[in-house]
Amino acid sequence: MSLPAAPPLSRGGERVRRAKASLRRLQRRVYRIFAKVVYRKVVMCRLEPDQSIIDFLMAMPLDPCKPTIEVLGPDRYHEVLGSSPQLSAADLAHFDKQESLCVVAYEAGQIVASVWFTHGEVYVSDLGRTVHVPAHERYSGRAYVHPDFRGQMLMQHLGHAHRKLQPGMRMWNLVYASNSNVLAALNKIELNLTGRFSTTFILGMRFAKDEEFDPQPLSSVSTI
């Protein structure tokens, strides 16, 4: 037996419903403005693989890679523009100051995958500031693989090429502390949490805090 249909709202009831909907939209808008202008905190986790994993990956034979792997210096940075939606001309200017290397995969004259390795005072746009990467360490970022070439382990080939060129470097990356899906995926490959970088934005002012500590397996960290 079907339930009777709800009676139509009266004119006054419809006005109340619309007013409540408008109020909810206004609340969301105010919250966005508050988060953007008044107070916002960005926390990023510093993650790096255990050296035993790096040694294992370097010793493991790789399947032949059809795309050609190349390492680009500053004189060839411009070739990467347009191949990744995560990269702008301003980014290249930052990378140039940081003595960065870009490892790419070429297929039919087009770059289909790329990743950057850099050190020094590295500008992290999400934090709105630079973080310091010592000379014996490398920050790996802005990795991108064209959708048509995903699933071919190109990132493993690119990382392998860099480690052969600059062996012995401690490698790390930054991931949003709030990005639970990515952190859960990274936990499966046994990355260690080795620090946190945060920026708190209050009324246009920025307050930075950097923390580094002994490696902790992601699986053992309850609160990031």
Give 8-58 pLDDT, tens digit per residue: 556 666 777 777 777 787 777 766 665 566 778 889 999 888 777 777 767
Give me the count of residues in the chain.
Answer: 224
Task: Tell me what pLDDT residue 141 has.
Answer: 86
Instruction: Tell me the per-residue pLDDT of 120-136, one tens digit each, with 9 for 90 and over.
Output: 888 888 898 989 999 88
Task: Tell me what pLDDT residue 39 has.
Answer: 79
Instruction: Tell me the per-residue pLDDT of 132-174, one tens digit each, with 9 for 90 and over.
Output: 999 889 998 889 999 999 888 888 889 889 888 888 788 888 8
Query: Please, which pLDDT band fits residue 200 given cuts at 50, 70 and 90?
Result: very high
Task: Tell me what pLDDT residue 106 has.
Answer: 95
Comparing CA positions, the residue from 222, 223, 195, 189 lying closest to residue 209 is 195
Task: Tell me what pLDDT residue 171 has.
Answer: 87
* CB < 8 Å & 24+ apart, contacts of 2-7: none
Q: How many CB atoms lie within 10 A of CB 48?
A: 21
CATH class held by domain 11-220: alpha beta
- 10 Å CB burial of residue 30 (0-12, 13-18, 19+) is exposed
Question: pTM for this structure?
Answer: 0.70
Task: Tell me what pLDDT residue 181 has.
Answer: 77
Task: Write down the domain spans for the chain.
Answer: 11-220
* Phi-psi category of residue 174: left, alpha or beta, with phi > 0 → left and psi -120 to 50 → alpha: beta
Task: Tell me what pLDDT residue 114 has.
Answer: 95
